[in-house]
Amino acid sequence: MNQLGVLAAAFVLSLLAALGAAAQLADHYWYGEDFSLFVVPITVFAAVSVAAFGVAGGYVGGASGLRNVALGLAALALALTLLPGLVGAIARRSTNPDVVLRAHDRLVATAFLLPVLIAILIQWGLVRRGWLRARGRDHATTWPWITFIVACVAVLNPLGLAIFGAAFSQSVTDWFRGLWLTVALGIVAVLLPIGLLEWRIRSRRLRAREQRCG
Protein backbone atom coordinates (compact mmCIF):
# COMPACT_ATOMS: atom_id res chain seq x y z
CA MET A 1 0.00 0.00 0.00
CA ASN A 2 1.44 3.41 -0.96
CA GLN A 3 1.79 6.34 1.39
CA LEU A 4 -1.48 7.99 0.36
CA GLY A 5 -3.32 4.72 0.88
CA VAL A 6 -1.83 4.34 4.35
CA LEU A 7 -2.73 7.92 5.27
CA ALA A 8 -6.28 7.52 3.94
CA ALA A 9 -6.78 4.27 5.87
CA ALA A 10 -5.31 5.86 9.02
CA PHE A 11 -7.63 8.85 8.71
CA VAL A 12 -10.79 6.82 8.13
CA LEU A 13 -10.14 4.24 10.87
CA SER A 14 -9.01 6.82 13.41
CA LEU A 15 -11.98 9.08 12.65
CA LEU A 16 -14.46 6.23 13.04
CA ALA A 17 -12.90 5.25 16.38
CA ALA A 18 -12.79 8.85 17.60
CA LEU A 19 -16.38 9.62 16.62
CA GLY A 20 -17.50 6.34 18.18
CA ALA A 21 -15.85 7.35 21.45
CA ALA A 22 -17.36 10.85 21.21
CA ALA A 23 -20.81 9.38 20.61
CA GLN A 24 -20.51 7.25 23.74
CA LEU A 25 -19.35 10.21 25.82
CA ALA A 26 -22.09 12.50 24.47
CA ASP A 27 -24.69 9.83 25.13
CA HIS A 28 -23.44 9.41 28.68
CA TYR A 29 -23.18 13.11 29.53
CA TRP A 30 -26.06 14.60 27.51
CA TYR A 31 -28.15 11.60 26.38
CA GLY A 32 -26.75 11.83 22.88
CA GLU A 33 -28.34 15.19 22.11
CA ASP A 34 -25.06 17.00 21.49
CA PHE A 35 -22.93 14.46 19.66
CA SER A 36 -23.09 16.64 16.52
CA LEU A 37 -21.19 19.40 18.37
CA PHE A 38 -18.04 17.30 18.37
CA VAL A 39 -18.14 15.95 14.81
CA VAL A 40 -16.55 18.98 13.14
CA PRO A 41 -13.77 19.74 15.67
CA ILE A 42 -12.77 16.08 15.95
CA THR A 43 -12.82 15.61 12.17
CA VAL A 44 -10.73 18.75 11.63
CA PHE A 45 -8.19 17.69 14.23
CA ALA A 46 -7.99 14.16 12.78
CA ALA A 47 -7.36 15.65 9.32
CA VAL A 48 -4.67 17.99 10.65
CA SER A 49 -2.97 15.19 12.56
CA VAL A 50 -2.90 12.76 9.63
CA ALA A 51 -1.52 15.57 7.45
CA ALA A 52 1.20 16.17 10.04
CA PHE A 53 2.09 12.47 9.97
CA GLY A 54 2.13 12.55 6.17
CA VAL A 55 4.49 15.52 6.02
CA ALA A 56 6.71 14.14 8.76
CA GLY A 57 6.95 10.79 7.01
CA GLY A 58 8.89 12.39 4.19
CA TYR A 59 11.48 13.99 6.45
CA VAL A 60 12.05 11.83 9.53
CA GLY A 61 14.94 9.42 9.47
CA GLY A 62 13.45 6.88 11.84
CA ALA A 63 10.26 5.69 13.48
CA SER A 64 11.13 7.70 16.59
CA GLY A 65 10.42 10.86 14.59
CA LEU A 66 6.82 9.74 14.02
CA ARG A 67 6.51 9.04 17.74
CA ASN A 68 7.64 12.59 18.48
CA VAL A 69 5.01 13.90 16.06
CA ALA A 70 2.36 11.88 17.92
CA LEU A 71 3.52 13.29 21.25
CA GLY A 72 3.45 16.81 19.83
CA LEU A 73 -0.08 16.34 18.52
CA ALA A 74 -1.21 14.97 21.89
CA ALA A 75 0.29 18.03 23.61
CA LEU A 76 -1.52 20.28 21.12
CA ALA A 77 -4.84 18.54 21.80
CA LEU A 78 -4.33 18.96 25.54
CA ALA A 79 -3.45 22.63 25.12
CA LEU A 80 -6.61 23.22 23.09
CA THR A 81 -8.78 21.77 25.84
CA LEU A 82 -7.04 23.89 28.46
CA LEU A 83 -7.79 27.05 26.50
CA PRO A 84 -11.33 28.29 27.17
CA GLY A 85 -11.86 29.27 23.54
CA LEU A 86 -12.38 25.81 22.06
CA VAL A 87 -14.53 24.46 24.86
CA GLY A 88 -16.65 27.59 24.87
CA ALA A 89 -17.03 27.53 21.08
CA ILE A 90 -18.25 23.93 21.15
CA ALA A 91 -20.72 24.62 23.93
CA ARG A 92 -22.12 27.79 22.35
CA ARG A 93 -23.23 25.81 19.30
CA SER A 94 -25.59 23.82 21.50
CA THR A 95 -29.24 24.62 22.17
CA ASN A 96 -29.10 22.42 25.24
CA PRO A 97 -28.91 24.68 28.32
CA ASP A 98 -27.13 21.95 30.26
CA VAL A 99 -24.16 22.14 27.91
CA VAL A 100 -24.17 25.93 27.64
CA LEU A 101 -24.17 26.36 31.42
CA ARG A 102 -21.25 23.95 31.68
CA ALA A 103 -19.33 25.47 28.76
CA HIS A 104 -16.05 25.41 30.63
CA ASP A 105 -16.71 22.17 32.44
CA ARG A 106 -14.34 19.24 32.13
CA LEU A 107 -17.07 17.19 30.47
CA VAL A 108 -16.93 19.16 27.21
CA ALA A 109 -13.15 19.01 27.23
CA THR A 110 -13.17 15.27 27.90
CA ALA A 111 -15.63 14.59 25.07
CA PHE A 112 -13.15 16.25 22.70
CA LEU A 113 -9.79 15.29 24.19
CA LEU A 114 -10.25 11.57 24.69
CA PRO A 115 -11.50 10.88 21.14
CA VAL A 116 -8.70 12.87 19.49
CA LEU A 117 -6.08 11.10 21.61
CA ILE A 118 -7.49 7.80 20.40
CA ALA A 119 -7.33 9.09 16.82
CA ILE A 120 -3.69 10.18 17.23
CA LEU A 121 -2.71 6.81 18.67
CA ILE A 122 -4.36 4.87 15.85
CA GLN A 123 -2.85 7.12 13.19
CA TRP A 124 0.60 6.81 14.72
CA GLY A 125 0.38 3.02 14.78
CA LEU A 126 -0.81 2.69 11.19
CA VAL A 127 1.49 5.34 9.70
CA ARG A 128 4.48 3.95 11.59
CA ARG A 129 3.72 0.44 10.31
CA GLY A 130 3.34 1.66 6.72
CA TRP A 131 6.48 3.81 6.94
CA LEU A 132 8.61 0.92 8.17
CA ARG A 133 7.18 -1.61 5.72
CA ALA A 134 7.82 0.73 2.80
CA ARG A 135 11.49 0.75 3.77
CA GLY A 136 11.74 -2.99 4.34
CA ARG A 137 12.13 -2.65 8.08
CA ASP A 138 10.59 -4.62 10.90
CA HIS A 139 7.37 -2.90 11.99
CA ALA A 140 6.90 -4.84 15.23
CA THR A 141 6.18 -2.67 18.26
CA THR A 142 6.16 -3.06 22.02
CA TRP A 143 2.96 -1.04 22.36
CA PRO A 144 0.23 -3.19 24.02
CA TRP A 145 -2.40 -2.78 21.29
CA ILE A 146 -4.60 -5.65 22.47
CA THR A 147 -4.83 -4.23 25.99
CA PHE A 148 -5.49 -0.77 24.57
CA ILE A 149 -8.45 -2.05 22.54
CA VAL A 150 -9.80 -4.03 25.50
CA ALA A 151 -9.51 -0.95 27.74
CA CYS A 152 -11.39 1.22 25.24
CA VAL A 153 -14.16 -1.36 24.95
CA ALA A 154 -14.33 -1.79 28.74
CA VAL A 155 -14.56 1.93 29.49
CA LEU A 156 -16.26 3.52 26.46
CA ASN A 157 -19.64 1.87 26.85
CA PRO A 158 -22.70 2.91 28.89
CA LEU A 159 -21.88 0.68 31.86
CA GLY A 160 -18.18 1.49 31.90
CA LEU A 161 -18.77 5.24 31.67
CA ALA A 162 -21.40 5.04 34.41
CA ILE A 163 -19.00 3.22 36.73
CA PHE A 164 -16.01 5.47 36.10
CA GLY A 165 -18.19 8.60 36.13
CA ALA A 166 -19.64 7.71 39.52
CA ALA A 167 -16.20 6.70 40.82
CA PHE A 168 -14.60 10.04 39.90
CA SER A 169 -17.54 12.27 40.83
CA GLN A 170 -17.97 10.71 44.28
CA SER A 171 -21.34 12.39 44.81
CA VAL A 172 -22.32 12.64 48.45
CA THR A 173 -25.87 11.61 47.53
CA ASP A 174 -24.67 8.36 45.95
CA TRP A 175 -24.75 5.66 48.60
CA PHE A 176 -22.76 3.34 46.36
CA ARG A 177 -19.91 5.76 45.62
CA GLY A 178 -17.48 3.57 47.54
CA LEU A 179 -18.55 0.54 45.54
CA TRP A 180 -18.15 2.32 42.19
CA LEU A 181 -14.67 3.50 43.18
CA THR A 182 -13.71 -0.02 44.17
CA VAL A 183 -15.01 -1.46 40.89
CA ALA A 184 -13.22 1.22 38.84
CA LEU A 185 -9.94 0.62 40.66
CA GLY A 186 -10.45 -3.11 40.20
CA ILE A 187 -10.79 -2.68 36.43
CA VAL A 188 -7.62 -0.58 36.36
CA ALA A 189 -5.86 -3.13 38.57
CA VAL A 190 -6.71 -5.85 36.05
CA LEU A 191 -5.90 -3.91 32.88
CA LEU A 192 -2.61 -2.44 34.08
CA PRO A 193 -0.76 -5.72 34.72
CA ILE A 194 -2.24 -7.22 31.54
CA GLY A 195 -0.86 -4.25 29.60
CA LEU A 196 2.53 -4.59 31.26
CA LEU A 197 2.54 -8.32 30.52
CA GLU A 198 1.70 -7.71 26.86
CA TRP A 199 4.43 -5.06 26.65
CA ARG A 200 6.88 -7.49 28.25
CA ILE A 201 6.01 -10.28 25.80
CA ARG A 202 6.25 -7.97 22.81
CA SER A 203 9.59 -6.61 24.05
CA ARG A 204 11.06 -10.08 24.41
CA ARG A 205 9.83 -11.13 20.98
CA LEU A 206 11.25 -7.98 19.42
CA ARG A 207 14.65 -8.53 21.04
CA ALA A 208 14.65 -12.15 19.89
CA ARG A 209 13.88 -11.10 16.32
CA GLU A 210 16.63 -8.48 16.41
CA GLN A 211 19.14 -11.09 17.65
CA ARG A 212 18.17 -13.51 14.87
CA CYS A 213 18.46 -10.78 12.23
CA GLY A 214 21.72 -9.56 13.71
Under 8 Å between Cβ of 56 and 65: yes
* 111: containing domain: 1-139
- Asked if 149 and 85 sit in the same domain, the reply is no
- Asked if 125 and 214 sit in the same domain, the reply is no
pLDDT in tens, 122-179: 999 999 999 988 887 777 788 899 999 999 999 999 898 888 888 777 666 667 777 8
Predicted TM-score (pTM) of the model is: 0.87
Residue 61, Cα to own-chain centre: how many angstroms?
26
Return the sign of the alpha-carbon dihedral for residues 49, 11, 138, 145. Answer: positive
- Asked if 110 and 155 sit in the same domain, the reply is no
Which residue among 139, 158, 183 closes a domain? 139
Which residue among 139, 163, 194 closes a domain? 139
- Asked if 150 and 90 sit in the same domain, the reply is no
Query: Which residues, in sequence order, are CB contacts of 36 under 8 Å at separation 6+?
Result: none
Which residue among 87, 106, 139 closes a domain? 139
pLDDT in tens, 36-76: 889 999 999 999 999 999 999 888 877 888 999 999 999 99
